[in-house]
Amino acid sequence: MRLVFAGTPETALPSLRTLIDSPRHEVVAVVTRPDAQSGRGRKVHPSPVAELAEEAGIEVLRPQKAGDPAFLDRLRALEPDCCPVVAYGALLPQSALDVPRHGWINLHFSILPAWRGAAPVQHAILHGDEITGASTFQIVKELDAGPVYGVVTEEIRTSDTSGALLERLSVSGAGLLAATLDGVEDGTLEARPQPADGITIAPKIAVGDAQVDWAKPAMHVDRLIRACTPNPGAWSEFRGQRVKLGPVRVVAGERLAPGQVAATKTAVLVGTASDAVELGEVQPQGKRLMGAVEWARGVRPDGDETFK
């Protein structure tokens, strides 16, 4: 099939590479978000999908909105049979959905209908799910509600951050997306409606949502920090300054007051509503990432000070 691939971040790269290498399909163009500022210098850079497409000599479309008339005219001219989507990051109007004869097929990183929305992997970790996965489905107007073609599953490890889990799902999901497109081309794969039960929503986790509440149990603190690693980054305040926190280790049987910081030569513990947790890496505001023990040597908490 003639494909126009839509995607933006690194998460989409395994799928794009797989489809570029597929002998059964031709990626005639990619659709991605406009170039954006990134990095310390805030320089304008193309998206990871745009960079890979340009390296492969594939046309890159960067509409401000997917309903822009010039974009729709070019999409129609390309005559795609299908438009696979992985983390594109913008809404698709019906005028765009109607162009390819096989529609737009999305790779979504959850087992639908669970965790529809922008942050399925983060919410799966935050809520303590043991199993997650990826689904391919036909895009319709309603958010992540279209009929499902296929699913792969993945165990959530107790040490998984959202970044590590999403990296694994992006690889297994790429195989699922390719197999889905093969089945659509063959006419051997039929999408099935999602069940009405079990729908959960996974909205984007904002920076404000990533502040650690030390009055919660250690299990919740652990899940929140892992869910927010690497983005948007879990944080707390110490002496009025924001400190970004990496994954922690629950220390069974060790008790401190919620938020209380206890530092030794070898470890930094912080109290929760249940067991204390041991900090791993921290990043003080305006400074580099460092080990918690190194941070404590610099700030010298007096034993009664707390994270807030």
**Same domain, residue pair 100 and 231:** no
Domain-terminating residue out of 170, 187, 202: 202
Domain-terminating residue out of 171, 202, 233: 202
**Same domain, residue pair 136 and 242:** no
> Per the domain annotation, does 189 fall within a domain?
yes
- DSSP for 66-119, please give it: TT-HHHHHHHHHH--SBEEEES--S---HHHHTSSTT-EEEEESS-TTTTBSS-
The CATH number given to whatever domain includes residue 88 is: 3.40.50.170
Domains: count for the chain: 2
Average pLDDT of 22-34? Answer: 97
Q: Out of 26-40, 82-96, 287-301, pick the least confident.
A: 26-40
**Same domain, residue pair 64 and 183:** yes
**Same domain, residue pair 196 and 215:** no
- Distance (Å, whole) CA 237 – CA 206: 17
> Per the domain annotation, does 161 fall within a domain?
yes
**Same domain, residue pair 227 and 123:** no
> Per the domain annotation, does 295 fall within a domain?
yes
The CATH number given to whatever domain includes residue 268 is: 3.10.25.10
**Confidence band for 44, pLDDT divided at 50, 70 and 90:** confident
**Same domain, residue pair 161 and 282:** no
**Same domain, residue pair 176 and 193:** yes
More confident residue, 195 or 36: 195
> Annotated binding residues, as ranges?
110-113
**Confidence band for 196, pLDDT divided at 50, 70 and 90:** very high
- C-alpha Rg value of the chain to the nearest Å: 22
**Same domain, residue pair 98 and 28:** yes
In contact, 61 and 29? CB cutoff 8 Å: yes
> Per the domain annotation, does 196 fall within a domain?
yes
pLDDT for 182:
98
**Confidence band for 41, pLDDT divided at 50, 70 and 90:** low
**Same domain, residue pair 189 and 248:** no
169: left (phi over 0), alpha (psi -120 to 50) or beta: alpha
> Annotated binding residues for (6S)-5,6,7,8-tetrahydrofolate, as ranges?
110-113
> Per the domain annotation, does 306 fall within a domain?
no
pLDDT tens readout for residues 79-137: 999 999 999 999 999 999 999 999 999 999 999 999 999 999 999 999 999 999 999 99
Domain-terminating residue out of 202, 226, 257: 202
pLDDT tens readout for residues 205-243: 999 999 999 999 999 999 999 999 999 999 999 999 999
- Report residue 291 as tokens: 């080990």
Q: Report DSSP state, residue 5.
A: E
> Per the domain annotation, does 243 fall within a domain?
yes
**Same domain, residue pair 63 and 104:** yes
> Per the domain annotation, does 83 fall within a domain?
yes
Q: Identify the domain containing residue 117 by its residue range.
A: 2-202
* Residues β-bridged to residue 43: 38
53 pLDDT higher than 70: yes
What lies within 8 Å, CB to CB, of 6 at 6+ separation is 30, 31, 32, 83, 84, 85, 86, 88, 92, 104
- Report residue 1 as tokens: 């099939």
**Same domain, residue pair 269 and 187:** no
**Same domain, residue pair 187 and 221:** no
> Per the domain annotation, does 67 fall within a domain?
yes
